């Protein structure tokens, strides 16, 4: 009796045999986008081969980000054309300076990805590091509340610097520890908490009478958070930072162009 070979779906293709088999990278833009969609349905810490073609994966996910941003901007234009006023963003009243550009394109992506996606590796070093940094943040807030002037600034800066050093040492020391089993089991929950927390933090960017009026406006951050989480797992933390930086640079360029057109 003859049997027909069982073929695997394109997204599950592998290279190698036996225990050495490794997932193959996506072969096209469409396949990468499908993999991202499947990942959102069931987030997992298991990479699908994208780490072996990191820049290609990053470019494809950024292309999807551009498509979604274009769609959301079109929707916003339609809403405003209908006479619905949207809350102003914090950047609308800011002067575009080199310092602001550096903060938006470099500072925010690095710090926010460390905080919201660094620990998504599920390794104990990253989790311990974020706990240390969070505790230090609370300590710095209490210190600032109880002191004024230079003492408040110096104490807060000192606490943050020490926390960064301690977090870095812990993360490096424990970098080779395996993924924690309990974290892997609840990874879908952790993934979406990370993306949702990232989005909600950006509610502070909008001048809204009631906070929930700005909820639809942080949809771009929720989408970016899910994309950054995807490349964090598939490629690495540096890729999440790079995607975040590219997104912010594009958004800043669009905002600057819009302000110049409005002023003209």
pLDDT tens string 151-202 = 888 888 888 888 888 888 888 888 788 889 999 999 999 999 999 999 999 8
Lowest mean pLDDT among 72-81, 162-171, 210-219, 237-246: 210-219
Residue 89 is inside which H or E element, if any? Answer: strand 88-89
Q: Are 239 and 54 in contact (CB under 8 A)?
A: yes
What is the mean pLDDT of the segment spanning 72-86? 84
pLDDT surpasses 70 at 240: yes
The reported pLDDT for the residue numbered 174 is 84
Please write down the long-range contacts of 1-6, taking CB distance under 8 Å and 24 or more positions apart.
Answer: none
The tokens for 4 are 């027909």
Give the model confidence (pLDDT) of 220-236 as tens digits: 999 999 999 999 999 99
Q: What is the mean pLDDT of the chain?
A: 84
pLDDT surpasses 80 at 250: yes
- What is the radius of gyration, based on Cα positions, of the chain? 21
Give the model confidence (pLDDT) of 35-55 as tens digits: 999 999 999 998 888 888 999
The reported pLDDT for the residue numbered 22 is 65
The tokens for 176 are 């080779």
Domain map (residue ranges) of the chain: 51-122+180-254, 123-178
The reported pLDDT for the residue numbered 16 is 46
Separation of alpha carbons 136 and 176, rounded Å: 25
pLDDT surpasses 50 at 8: no
Question: Residue 103's CB: how many other CB atoms inside 10 A?
Answer: 14
The reported pLDDT for the residue numbered 264 is 56
The model carries a pTM of 0.82
The reported pLDDT for the residue numbered 197 is 94
Residue 15 is inside which H or E element, if any? Answer: strand 14-15
């Amino acid at each position: 009796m003859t049997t027909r070979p069982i073929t695997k779906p394109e997204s599950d293709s592998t290279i190698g045999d036996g225990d050495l088999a490794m997932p193959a990278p996506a072969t096209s833009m469409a396949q990468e986008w499908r993999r991202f969609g499947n990942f959102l349905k069931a987030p997992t810490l298991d990479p699908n081969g994208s780490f072996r073609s990191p820049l290609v994966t990053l470019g494809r996910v950024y292309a999807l980000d551009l498509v979604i941003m274009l769609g959301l901007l079109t929707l916003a234009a339609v809403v405003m054309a209908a006479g619905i006023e949207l809350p102003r963003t914090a950047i609308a009243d800011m002067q575009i300076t080199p310092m602001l550009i550096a903060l938006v394109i470099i500072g925010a992506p690095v710090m926010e990805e460390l905080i919201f996606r660094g620990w998504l590796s599920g390794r104990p070093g990253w989790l311990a590091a974020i706990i240390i940094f969070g505790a230090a943040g609370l300590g710095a807030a209490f210190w600032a509340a109880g002191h004024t002037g230079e003492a408040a600034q110096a104490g807060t800066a000192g606490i943050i610097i020490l926390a960064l050093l301690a977090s870095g040492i812990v993360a490096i020391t424990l970098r080779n520890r395996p993924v924690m089993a309990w974290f892997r089991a609840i990874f879908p929950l952790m993934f979406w908490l990370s993306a949702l927390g990232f989005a909600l933090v950006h509610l502070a960017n909008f001048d809204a009478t009631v906070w929930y009026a700005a909820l639809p406006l942080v949809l771009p951050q929720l989408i970016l958070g899910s994309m950054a989480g995807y490349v964090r797992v598939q490629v690495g933390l540096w890729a999440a930072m790079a995607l975040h930086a590219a997104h912010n640079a594009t958004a800043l360029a669009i905002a600057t162009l819009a302000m110049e057109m409005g002023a003209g």
